[in-house]
Structure 1
Amino acid sequence: MSYRTALAHVLTGAVASGGEPARTQGRFPRSGVTALGRAGLLGLTVTPELGGGGRGLAEAVEVVEHVARVCPAAATVLRSHYAAVAVVEACGGAWVRAEIAAGRHLCSLALDADGPDSAARRTGEVVTLRGRKRQVVAAGEADSYVWSSGPTGTVPGGCSLWLVPAHAPDLYVPARAAGPGPSGSATSTVCADPVRVPASALLGEDGDGERLVRDLVLPWLTELSAATDVVSGEGAVLVAS
């Protein structure tokens, strides 16, 4: 089954049914996100060797645009997920990438707009992260976050990126205040107070986070954000192929 056929099936089902509660009640579109995962669309951009769709940014934009016509909240969640997966696919381990490919793992971005405001300290093979991330999509709903911090070493300036599991002790969402995202996107603040992760959670090299954000995250976010701007009262029309 092609990704277009899979998308056509879930758009008129779980994704559409979750759109109205997201808009009117601020409810996270969990059923729609789960259906997207089962249809292989959360793993759309993961390598086929790990069970993913092997597709790129153009196909991700197409999926997000169609979802945005039916459920803006789910489209916003997908936007953050695909941008985060771009980093995880480049730098992450095989296990989490296979989980994403299988549709069992939702990622999100927990980055800082004006440089890292989170500290990182390494002790042996354990890294302690402290900080607060604002405007995180799927806060409290994602399975992991691509989290930015200052470097742990002596790298001047720069930042590092970590894959932080949502179930990590002392990682929490202090309030579900309405953020700038569409209703139901669970856009809120996430705090690490502090959170301890293994040193292997580092994505790329210590201090190389700015390059990863510039080369991977921002290009994906730019294109995917344009797709989520689609507004249609008629819903999506997708020809399966």
Structure 2
Amino acid sequence: MNLTKLKEAEYCVSGLKGFTLSEALSLWKTKFETVKHFQRDVINAHSGLKELGDFVAEVWETIKPVTVEAALSEKNTERRRVMFDCIGVANLFQKLQPEMLDRQVISKTRTRWDGNNKAYEHVFEDIYELYRIRDEKLFETGWSWRRPQAIYAVRCWCTTTQREFWIYVPEEAAMSGELTSANNRKPDAIQAIAWTIRIDITNPKRIFRQGDIIVVEESDNSQPVPSYHLKKEQYLELIFSET
């Protein structure tokens, strides 16, 4: 293994070049749950990186991940964005005490199937929370031609396992109302979670959701179209089964 060559190389993380080996190792340790995930998404996806993959596997347990505090102290905006990306939305929002903008609880009745594949009605309450971290918590607020924006995330729970999820959403998904009328825009957690689903037919009959897998059932009037984000009304009316 040519360790000198690895140390002298420049590394690209989350689309940004210019990281040293030690910096890249910390970012990778932060971003990937295990070394196997790193090898799958970085090493196996690019030819010629076997030597790097072997070295990372050897030192993985000794690498220290990037902290939120270190990311906040980084002066370079683009490098800080990479650090935030590697830290992840859940860790970032839990650490920085975000502002909860909206919370909605929906009583739902959904079709599920028992061990004998017999359908039954499952009644439960589903909770959605919308949060914001203001830009001044993430970036310096001095003059800039490209002012950093606040970031938004919707917090929800798996209806089967109760596992917690945080999902990034853009401002236009988080805030209902016309984009040109800031005073009339209001946070909407249901609209935010609806935006995370994309479908590519018109007039869908029903939507089935199993974790991250979305299955859309066509109606007699459905036609293929470019994919689009689900609207709040569609989310409330069309979701037939959630597991």
Q: By the TM > 0.5 criterion, same fold?
A: no
The structure with the greater share of residues assigned to strand is 2
Question: TM-score, length-normalised on structure 2?
Answer: 0.31
Q: TM-score, normalised by structure 1?
A: 0.31
More helix by share: 1
Q: Rg larger in 1 or in 2?
A: 2
Which of the pair has the greater relative contact order for Cα pairs under 8 Å at 6+ separation?
Answer: 1
